[in-house]
Structures are given as structure tokens and as C-alpha cells.
Amino acid sequence: MKVVALISGGKDSCYNMMQCVAAGHQIVALANLRPANKDELDSYMYQTVGHQAIDLYAEAMDLPLYRRTIQGSSLNTGRDYSQTEGDEVEDLYHLLNMVQEKEDVEAVSVGAILSDYQRVRVENVCVRLGLQPLAYLWRRDQATLLSEMISCDLHALLIKVAAFGLDPEKHLGKPLADMEPYLTQLSEKYGVHVCGEGGEYETFTLDCPLFKKRLVIDAMETVIHSADAFAPVGYLHFSMMHTEDKVNVYTVNYDVR
């Protein structure tokens, strides 16, 4: 099937694209929802940290990218969802409707792993548009999934942390592969979700086998959102990035300000 991939920049949406291709589907377009005027949006549905760099995904994958600014908010937060004017889910509906009209897509790649809240809402939108949701990561064992992502040459770094044991000054910008042992340790000790499904952390993908070019961070800064003594919240703001042709050896070279 022809597929539009919902992307946030994170590891899950990227790895689900890889699974779609492995299953014989064709990614023909990318789609993303961005916040109106800031890095972080208080949303139950969408990862928005790192949205400044999403435009580079189109260049990296040589695919059309469709974006829409999030205008709604989390109004209908119940277990089930029905069409609600002004809800942020309707922004997703309008975005996918636009892609469907221009690209003749049949399915949507969705990187959901554990959140029924997200699944129910994406499925609602897909049913209304006659699209098939493709969520190959759904309910997978998270430790196995994280190991798979890393072994499949998906290169991502931590772009946000918000959990006990994760320090913005120490862990932001760290490659996911380097963090895997520590995340496993936090999971065993404190019940942290190793894939970040409890909101413990978010990632940004710089390279994967689907990319024709890789993303390079030239400069970024750390933003402390909450200086909580036990679980400080911080994220990275990308000041400058570019794409470059891929080589056999993968490196990350950036300045933190």
C-alpha cells in the first residue's frame, strides 16, 4: 500500500516506517504536526520537541513533507473519542485529509507502542478518512524493541528527559545506543519504561537505513523546563542543522550551548 508516515522526529515513528517498508509497503509522503510558537506543547497526542528540524526529514528521505500547525487543544480526553471541534485530534484529521487528496495514500504509519489514548484517536481519524493504520510496534516488548532499533542502525539521541534518574545536564544529547544499558537499569530499579512510553524521555533520529542523507547537528542549547529536585525536565533546542551525504562511518559532531 501507499503510505503516509506520521513523523515526530523520534525513534518510534522512524522505526515503524522501517517496519512498513519491510512488510512491502511504500512510503510516499511524510506528515507532521507542529506547535504554533514554541518548542514544547502541552499535548497528550504529539511530540513537538525538535520540530525545527523536521523539514530536513524531507531532504533526508527525498519525500514530500506535509505539515500543519496545531490549532486545537486536548478537549476530549475520555477513553473513547468522537469528532470534537477544537480538539487537537482534528488537526490530525485535516493534515491527513490534505495528504490523502494530494498523494492518493491508502495507509498511515503510526509509531504508537503503548498509549491507548493515541491509538484510539488515530484509529478514529483513519476510519473517517478510509485509511488503514499501520502500527507495527503496538504492544511489543519494549526492551526487545529498543534493542532491535539500535541493532538496525537507527541512530537517535535523547532530546528530552523527564524522569527520576535522568539528568538534563548529563543525559540530553546522548546517543540512544549509549543510553540503553542505563535505561535498562532504571527500568529494573524504578519501573521506568525503557522506550520512554511513560514520558520519561523523547528522542530525535539523525539517521536510519531509509535516509538517503543523514542529519547533522551544528549547534544546540539545553533548555530547563522544570528544575524539580527529583525529576528535572529539560530538552534540546536545535539552533542549526544540516544534511550531508552518508558515509560508512557514523559520527555525531555538535556544539552544546
pLDDT for res 84: 92
Report the Cα–Cα distance between both ends of the chain, in Å, rounded. 44
- Picking from 31-35, 93-97, 141-145, 203-207, which range would have the lowest pLDDT averaged per residue? 31-35
Q: What residues are paired with 160 via a beta bridge?
A: 202, 235
How distant, in Å, are the alpha carbons of 5, 6, 43, 82, 168 from that of 108? Answer: 6, 7, 21, 19, 33
Q: How many residues does the chain have?
A: 257
For residues 191 and 213, give the distance between their C-alpha atoms in angstroms, rounded to a whole number.
36
Domain boundaries, the chain: 2-134, 142-256
Evaluate if residue 102 carries a pLDDT over 80: yes
What pTM did the predictor assign?
Answer: 0.91
**Architecture of the 2-134 domain:** 3-Layer(aba) Sandwich (3.40)
List, for residues 154-192, the tens digit of each pLDDT value: 999 999 999 999 999 999 999 999 999 999 999 999 999
At 62 the pLDDT is: 97
> Which has the closest alpha carbon to 148: 6, 5, 16?
16
Torsion of CA 1, 124, 99, 46, to 10 degrees: -110
Phi–psi pair at 77, nearest 5 degrees:
-105, 20
Q: Which three cell numbers stand for residue 29?
A: 509522503
Reduced to 3 states (helix: H, G, I; strand: E, B; else coil), residue 202 is: strand
- The matching CATH number, chosen from 3.90.1490.10, 1.25.40.10, 3.30.9.10, 3.40.50.720, for 142-256 is 3.90.1490.10
